[in-house]
Every structure is written in C-alpha cells, then in structure tokens.
Amino acid sequence: MGLVSPDPFPWNNSHAPLVTDWIQIMSNAYRLVQWNKHKKVYDLTLIAFLLVYLTSFVGIGMLLFPSPEEISLPILLIRAFGTCSIILLHVILAIGPLARISSKFNPLLYNRRHLGVIFFFVALTHALLVFMFYGGFGVENPISAVLIGSYRSGGIPYEYFGFVSLLIFGVMAATSHDFWLKNLSPSFWKSMHMSVYIAYAFVIAHVVFGVIQSEKNLLYPVMISSGVVLIASLHLITGLREFRRDFRFKMSSTQSPWVEVCTVDEIEPNRAKIVQIDTNERIAIFKDGCTLSAISNVCAHQNGPLGEGKIVDGCVTCPWHGYQYNASNGQSPPPFTEKIPTYEIRIEGNRVMINPNANEPGTPVKPAEFNPIFNAKPSEYDG
C-alpha cells in the first residue's frame, strides 16, 4: 500500500538519478510483492550469497573432516543453515542503527522485510533438519521427540529457546506484508515486530547453552560474543545520538505557545530540521523553495523518520519506503489516503517559530514564506 518510489536512494544525491528520470510505481491496492529493479537486484544478490555460503560451508567441512573423523552431510547442513541464519539475523538487527548513522545504508533498510522473510526460511530449514535428523527415526513425533528428549536428558533444554524464537520469527514473517500493517494499525504492528529483540535473546541462549557447550573450538563463542557486542554497541550509539537531539526546546511559561527552534539558514533546501519540544512528538520542518512547513516526523506507514528524507517532486518522501506527503497539509497525494499531523509555523526575521500543539492529521497549514536573499546561506544564492 502507499506511494513507493522504485529507486531506493531518494535521500542520497550521490546515488539518485535525476528526479525527471524517476518512474514512480504507485498502487493503492495490495500486491503480493511490488517488484522493481532494485528489489530484484537485492533479492538475487541475497540468494547468491546464500548459495555461496551454504555450499562453501559444506564443502570446507568435508575437506577439514575427512574419514574417519568426517562429519555427516546432514549435520553439516544443520550447521550451515544455523550459522547462516544467525549471520542474517545480526545483519537485520544492524541495518536500523547503521541507517541512522549513515544514509548509505538506507538501500539495505529499504528492502529489509525481504531479508527478514528469507532469513525465516533459512532458520526454518535449520529447524526442520534438526527435527528430522534427531527425532525423525522413532515412533514419536519428531518435534516432541527433540523437545521432550532434550528435557529428559537433564541440563538446560536449549532446544526450547530456538523453538520459541522460530515461532516469533514465523509470526513476523507471516505479518510482514502491508496488508497486516494497515489492518492491525502501524503502532500495533510496529510493537509486535519489536519482539525481534526477544527472539534474538532466545537465539543467543539457544547457542550459548547448546552449541558452545558441546564445541571445543573457540571460534563459535568468539563469533557470537562479537555479534552481541556489535548489535548492543550500534543501538547504544544511535540511542545516545537520538537522545541528544531530543528535549532541547522548552515551551514558554507565558501564554504564547510559540517556540523558537532554529533559523531559516539552518535548514537545507528540500530537506528538514528535526526538533522536539518538551515531550511532544518530533517535528520535521521542511524547506521547499522559499517556504517552510512543519509536519510530524513520523511516517504513517512504519513510523519512519520523515525528517531524514527529502522533498521529491513536491512531496516529502520517507527515507524508509518512499511514502510521500504534501508538506502543507500532511496528506498523501491521491489516490492514497495516509495523513499525518501538521503544525503552525511562522518566521520572525530569521527565526523559525513553531506552535508545538499538533493539528489533526491532514489539516492544511499555510507555509511560512521567507526572503531567499536575506534568509539563506550564501551558498544557496551565490552565482
């Protein structure tokens, strides 16, 4: 659903084609997959990586462990799909904070749901191989044979951790389509998909209490420890960056609701400055030509940061998935119906003033006009 640009680089001029060369793919109906050139390249590259990784893992395993110490093919496949799924999971969890640090990672974020679904099927294959190899040759159901058998054997039944995480990933993969996002509501859908961090904790427990306990090779504990440190560090860094950005502006104790948030020349052309006043929602102030408009920083699609996008063809374009809005009224262009809150804005001299009390989503607000000669950086009008 929604307006989606087929080019995943609307935020990066070094990669984006000329706006006049863009071909917008618009659909106000559900499609199984909204294919375009970049999605195809993304998925084909991912599939190629999977094939190379899996075949290399199995091939190298056979070379390193010849007879009589050889590892059977089913176990090599179990380990290949297991390690591959853990690598993909770390990539998925790293994409978000990396995209906040540098816009160069936004193309990965643009198609992350494709990566998530493929990751689930890799993890599912790992689980099916485990159930069939360790529980498929008896009279008991393979799943219960593995889970109950691990419980009976004593110790920590690490298989349960992996099984619960697989169930969570399955729900996330099954609800990844925009049909579910739209009908469950973006906020509920987003909250539900935040359970990826719970599943990640279960995966780490599955590996720590399972594979690492039985393996003498230090490579596995070093790899999983490095992954945890990497993910934690990236989220901590980006969290601190976002925290420093927030709560820098306070509402006046007087009757006037207007708050000075920046100057006109602090905002780049076709870009935005993101501000937060007290504990209110973040506001994105966009510069379009000689006017400024203020809208919610939260995209109605997946709560993406609109202020980190730019104006394309006269519309604010979300950097996550290309959803677009008119900055003067917070409405998506027809036939789309998404709406976001708008804010009253005015300019006093060179100062940008905001009324932090949000209007109803889709409320038209007259843009604030400024003189491009007296309210712009020299680089914007030299020449």
Sign, CA torsion 38/41/44/47: negative
DSSP secondary structure of 64-99: HS-TTSPPPHHHHHHHHHHHHHHHHHHHHHHHHHHH
Amino acid type, 179? F
Query: What residues form DSSP beta bridges with 311?
Result: 316
Which ranges of the chain have pLDDT less than 50?
1-27, 378-383
Whole-Å CA distances, 146 to 60, 85, 133, 199, 222: 28, 20, 10, 20, 27
303: left (phi over 0), alpha (psi -120 to 50) or beta: left
pLDDT of residue 253: 55
Report domain 259-378's class: mainly beta
Measured CA to CA, the distance from residue 171 to residue 326 in angstroms comes to: 34
Report how far apart the first and last C-alpha atoms of the chain are (Å, whole number). Answer: 43
**Model confidence over 221-240: pLDDT tens digits?**
888 999 999 999 999 999 88
What pLDDT score was predicted for residue 100? 82
What pLDDT is stored for residue 26 in this prediction? 39
Instruction: Output the pLDDT for position 33.
Output: 61
Domain boundaries, the chain: 35-245, 259-378
